[in-house]
Chain A
Amino acid sequence: MTPSTLQTLPQGIEYVRILPEIVLSAFGIVIMLLDPLVDQRRSSRMLGTIALIGSLAAIAASQYQTQCPPGTAFWDMVRVDAFSIFFHIVVTTVTAVVILTSFEYMDVQQLHAGEYYALVLFGAVGMCLMSSAVELVLIFIALEISSISTYILAGYRRRVAISSESSVKYFLLGSFATAFFLYGVALMFGATGSTSIAKIGETLNAGPVPLLAYVAIALMFVGLGFKVAAAPFHIWTPDVYEGAPAPIVGFMSTAPKAAVFAVLLRVLFEAHAPGRLWLIWVVAALSMTLGNIGALVQDNIKRLLAYSSIAHAGYLLVAFAALPSSGIPAAMFYTAAYAAMNVGCFAVISHFASAGERRVTLEDYAGLGRRSPILAATLTLFLLSLIGIPITGGFFAKFYVFSAALQADLVGLTVIGVLNSAVGAYYYLRVIVMMYMREPREETPVAPIPFGLGAALAISGFATLYLGLLPGRVLEYARSAAALLR
């Protein structure tokens, strides 16, 4: 920042461009302040409600941003356009659904609610900021805001050893990966003399690409690849997802991923990153294959979905190897569809898990179709969507990604992807078979679905079906947003 730019102070409109972040932070701070002051027994529901209002206000703020002209704010650090608003809405909606899911979860697990809701909101601040940041240092800060919140949230069941283990593993590996990202940023600054994505794009587009820029992109990709659990950097995923509280797994497998994919889209396409194709090709193929093969042998549903999320990161990355005109909208559509179905899946899991998260193995799901038809039916819907069966969002997500890949003549990668989808169908169907065709191990009725969880399931189920039946509107929006990116 040079002294001359400092003389122009931020205008009112610039604050509107970080309005969702301001709203989320304010509500998070209010929760932190109220948490020690109000009575602990009554605080859980109250703080949860405040967090829910906060996330709804943030959705409204993102909606309001669509009314304002797109543009940059705070000395070209933040840019709000259709692209960032898309991710703002995905992140804030996921946040609202996760908070709805957590109402019951916090009571059943007897967890203290205060910091939990605040951290979810603070995490969402980082994710929103990530999707609108166009400056690598700000991206790094946003990445850290979101990561540190999720590190703590992963260990929130602190009396359970496995949860602490998950938190420590996530923290150590996550910090290590962030260091890679930061090193990449430093080298990129060395190669191009700027940390602004637009300026980096200009420099790399104009002249011969320095060798340093290739190294920088590779290092940044390692850091970001870790956050989205892409294949050579995916080892942490099953252990962390197994130990973390179920609603939080739903949160951190969707919202931060969507935000980091937004960063990747900006870094790879807007900055004209060199050597993008091969990097993506290898990582996508590895993620899909290792994720799906790993998932085949899992007995714990959270581990199964962890491997499935690795595979889905792979499918998503296929779109990154395609041409920008079709690849970016496909990737955006995929993040939205994946967020809807995965957060729904984990809402069901967190309800069914009961106190102490006892019921998380596949055997526990035996006969769920008879014990709780509604729960089984919704989980089936989400699993079918994860397979990619038509009329669900997952189908069109995969369809757009693979057709984008074919348009770019990536036949090899598409074949690997389609074969992997077939492999993936096996383990998702295994859960469905368990639920409907096995005798239940215990006959005790499943706890009735409370209102908050019902609303969470309704929202994610509706979103999954909406994206599957009427994908046109979202895809058109993504197309118009992608056009702005180049």
Chain B
Amino acid sequence: MPQNYVPIFLFIALIGVLLPVTLLAAKLVRPDNPSKAKLMPYECGIDPIDSARGRYTVRYYIVAILFVVFDVETIFLFPWAVKFKALGAFGLLEMLIFLLILVVGYIWIWKKGALEWV
């Protein structure tokens, strides 16, 4: 069914033509008068204090990773909660085993001192 792809190719061709044309037209038509305030990155109206490429402590990285782990936990909990009745005792048991494994991970993180700042 290659003919199904015809609209897609049409779109690609259209983009290929339209994009340079609009950019070129805008360039020709608009007044060109840049200033410092105009070139500033737009961040919800607040003035940027600092460069975005500054350095920050590597600990954020650990916290972020730990966050992801427990974030994913919720992703598993939601569908289970929705289907709680259908899954019954089996589902409950499986989820408890899953949580138990996560708790072991939590104890491990805690005891290893990954949650301490400094």
Chain B interface SS verdict (over half): helix
Residue of B nearest to A37 (CB): B111
Residue of A nearest to B109 (CB): A36
Q: Report B-chain residues with C-beta under 8 Å of the C-beta of A3.
A: 86
B62 CB to nearest A CB, Å: 14
Taking CB atoms and an 8 Å cut-off, the chain B residues in 15-45 that contact chain A are none
CA distance A259 to B110 in the complex (A): 34
Residue of A nearest to B113 (CB): A36
Stretch of A27-35, A151-159, A309-317 contacting B (4+ beta carbons < 8 Å): A27-35
Question: Interface residue count for B (Cβ, 8 Å)?
Answer: 10
Residue of A nearest to B107 (CB): A33
CA distance A259 to B46 in the complex (A): 55
Candidates B86, B87, B104; contact of A32 at CB < 8 Å = B104
CB distance A35 to B108 under 8 Å?
yes
Contact mask B100-118 → A, CB, 8 Å, 1/0? Answer: 0100110110011000000
**A206 at interface (Cβ–Cβ under 8 A)?**
no
CB distance B90 to A32 under 8 Å?
no
Residue of B nearest to A9 (CB): B90
CA distance A10 to B94 in the complex (A): 11
Residue of B nearest to A33 (CB): B104
Q: Report B-chain residues with C-beta under 8 Å of the C-beta of A6.
A: 86-87
A111 CB to nearest B CB, Å: 15
CB distance B112 to A32 under 8 Å?
no
Q: Report A-chain residues with C-beta under 8 Å of the C-beta of B112.
A: 36
Candidates B86, B90, B101, B111; contact of A36 at CB < 8 Å = B111
Q: Report A-chain residues with C-beta under 8 Å of the C-beta of B107.
A: 33, 36
B75 CB to nearest A CB, Å: 15
Counting chain A CB atoms within 10 Å of each CB, the highest count among B86, B90, B108, B112 belongs to B108
CB distance A32 to B111 under 8 Å?
no
A interface bracket (residues with beta carbon within 8 Å of B):
10 to 19
Residue of B nearest to A25 (CB): B101
B110 CB to nearest A CB, Å: 8
Contact mask A36-65 → B, CB, 8 Å, 1/0? Answer: 110000000000000000000000000000
Taking CB atoms and an 8 Å cut-off, the chain A residues in 336-380 that contact chain B are none
Q: Report B-chain residues with C-beta under 8 Å of the C-beta of A36.
A: 107-108, 111-112
A29 and B90 in contact, given A36-B111, A36-B112, A37-B111 (Cβ under 8 angstroms): no
CB distance B108 to A33 under 8 Å?
yes
Q: Report B-chain residues with C-beta under 8 Å of the C-beta of A29.
A: 101, 104
Q: Report A-chain residues with C-beta under 8 Å of the C-beta of B90.
A: 9-10
CA distance A10 to B104 in the complex (A): 25
Q: Report A-chain residues with C-beta under 8 Å of the C-beta of B108.
A: 32-33, 35-36
Taking CB atoms and an 8 Å cut-off, the chain B residues in 31-68 that contact chain A are none
CA distance A32 to B105 in the complex (A): 8
A2 CB to nearest B CB, Å: 12
CA distance A10 to B105 in the complex (A): 27
CA distance A36 to B108 in the complex (A): 6
Q: Report B-chain residues with C-beta under 8 Å of the C-beta of A35.
A: 108
CA distance A35 to B87 in the complex (A): 35
CA distance A3 to B83 in the complex (A): 11
Q: Report B-chain residues with C-beta under 8 Å of the C-beta of A32.
A: 104-105, 108
Residue of A nearest to B111 (CB): A36
A69 CB to nearest B CB, Å: 23
Q: Report A-chain residues with C-beta under 8 Å of the C-beta of B101.
A: 29
Taking CB atoms and an 8 Å cut-off, the chain B residues in 53-99 that contact chain A are 86-87, 90
Q: Report B-chain residues with C-beta under 8 Å of the C-beta of A33.
A: 104, 107-108
Q: Report A-chain residues with C-beta under 8 Å of the C-beta of B111.
A: 36-37
A23 CB to nearest B CB, Å: 14
CA distance A326 to B111 in the complex (A): 53
A124 CB to nearest B CB, Å: 16
Q: Report A-chain residues with C-beta under 8 Å of the C-beta of B105.
A: 32
CA distance A37 to B107 in the complex (A): 10
Residue of A nearest to B105 (CB): A32
Can you list 19 A-B pairs with a CB-CB distance of less than 8 A? A3-B86, A6-B86, A6-B87, A9-B90, A10-B90, A29-B101, A29-B104, A32-B104, A32-B105, A32-B108, A33-B104, A33-B107, A33-B108, A35-B108, A36-B107, A36-B108, A36-B111, A36-B112, A37-B111
B residues near A (Cβ < 8 Å) are 86-87, 90, 101, 104-105, 107-108, 111-112
16 further A-B pairs in the complex, CB-CB below 8 A; given A36-B111, A36-B112, A37-B111: A3-B86, A6-B86, A6-B87, A9-B90, A10-B90, A29-B101, A29-B104, A32-B104, A32-B105, A32-B108, A33-B104, A33-B107, A33-B108, A35-B108, A36-B107, A36-B108
Closest 3 CB pairs of A and B: A36-B111, A9-B90, A32-B108
